Copies of this chain bind each other. A is one copy, B any other.
Amino acid sequence: MSLELLRTDAHSPSYFALTRGSGDRDADLVDFCIPCNPYFPTPEIFARLRGSLENILKYYPSDSDTITRELCTTFGLHPQTVAMGNGSTELITWIDHLLVRDSLAVPIPTFGRWTDQPLETGKRVHMFPLQESRNFHLDVEAYVRYIRERQSRVAVICNPNNPDGGYLPRREVIAMLDRLTDLDLVVVDESFIDFADAEPYTSVADEAAIRPNVIVLKSLGKNFGLHGVRFGYLVANPALAGKIKAALPKWNLNSFAEIVVFLLKDHQEEYRHSLQLAARDRRLMYEWLAALPGLTVFPSQGNFLLVKLPDGTDGVWLRDRLIADYGVYIRECGNKLGSSGQFLRLVVRPQPDVERLLDGLCALLYGASPTWPAATRQVGPRHARSLRSA
């Protein structure tokens, strides 16, 4: 594995780039960068996909209308209000091309495409800084004021936000939409909302379907733990959804996307269970990390945790050491607008993976032994507490 890779690219290198041509060590790499759902798809689903692999790869998928109709049946959406894309990034690209005329406001830090895409096509991007001192919480009043001052024509929020996982309750999002009905467009990027459990009903997709200027964006890859597939969708009123749908390339979805969409209705129960497990892991990982001295962990409703390192600790150094010595791959936020290398975005993972991360963090940050006896492994939090009291 080449550490050079980590330094040469603006964006994090992919898992494949990191493991390509490497030896046994990297085969065991634990990845805290890609916000996967580790509990879905189930082994049974993977077995079904494996059994049909040749047919899936060899034959054309159906066109996206066919796949969209099935998705809508499973999720109880109206097909005219939905457009499916080759990952939410394809939808962001077309939203920018078709609906963002001159300016767009977005709170930062946030998902990079919401700043970079409109900048690349020459739009003005008004970046509203979220305050670390307020746990990166989005103050709707202040954001609306900012939009008015800058005269932005399009506004975006990510809920939960990436990279901090900050969550805005549904009633507050709706209140914001009510305030911004005169804008060309308001986008609520709900790519991670399935992981939120702060209230029983979190999405505003139902509102988007009946409002004149709202698009809700959803990721399927993130929720279903299938980032390699590339699929996502948006919900908006039929005119708005239809405009995007008409512009998208035909056959923009691949055969894996089709197969998975048609499998979903038989695996809804397992999917809901996977989200419960992920929420449990998030609570546990939050507790363990928050117990480490000098680390700040921000409250999150996504499947990742934003962590601030102690002053003077360089995230790039830590990342390089963790991957070289512990086979743990983390993301530092030095390349994210509104963040810095002192911040890590750590994806929520099952307990054994977090223990390996803690091994590395404790050793590298506090000089504790990097190899605890296996018998004492499960005392992750206690180990951290003993460090704190040391």
Q: Closest residue to A14 on the B side, CB-wise?
A: B62
A54 to B50, CA, bound (A): 9
Contact A228 B89 (CB under 8 A): no
Contact of A226 with B by CB under 8 A: yes
Contact A61 B259 (CB under 8 A): no
Contact A227 B120 (CB under 8 A): no
Contact B89 A86 (CB under 8 A): no
Contacts of A50 in B (CB 8 A): 50, 53
A31 to B228, CA, bound (A): 27
Contact of A128 with B by CB under 8 A: no
Contact A258 B16 (CB under 8 A): yes
Contact B14 A59 (CB under 8 A): yes
Contact A59 B256 (CB under 8 A): no
Contact A15 B227 (CB under 8 A): no
Contact string, A39-54, partner B, CB cutoff 8 A, digits 1/0?
A: 0010000100110011
Stretch of A75-83, A210-218, A246-254, A273-281 on the interface side: A246-254
Contact A229 B90 (CB under 8 A): no
Contact A227 B16 (CB under 8 A): no
Contact string, A236-263, partner B, CB cutoff 8 A, digits 1/0?
A: 0000000000111111111110110010
Contact A249 B89 (CB under 8 A): yes
Q: CB < 8 Å: which of B53, B58, B120 contacts A225?
A: B58
Contact B66 A15 (CB under 8 A): no
Residues of A with Cβ closer than 8 Å to B?
11, 13-17, 20, 31, 34, 36, 41, 46, 49-50, 53-63, 66, 86-87, 89-90, 92-94, 97, 113, 117, 120, 221, 225-230, 246-256, 258-259, 262
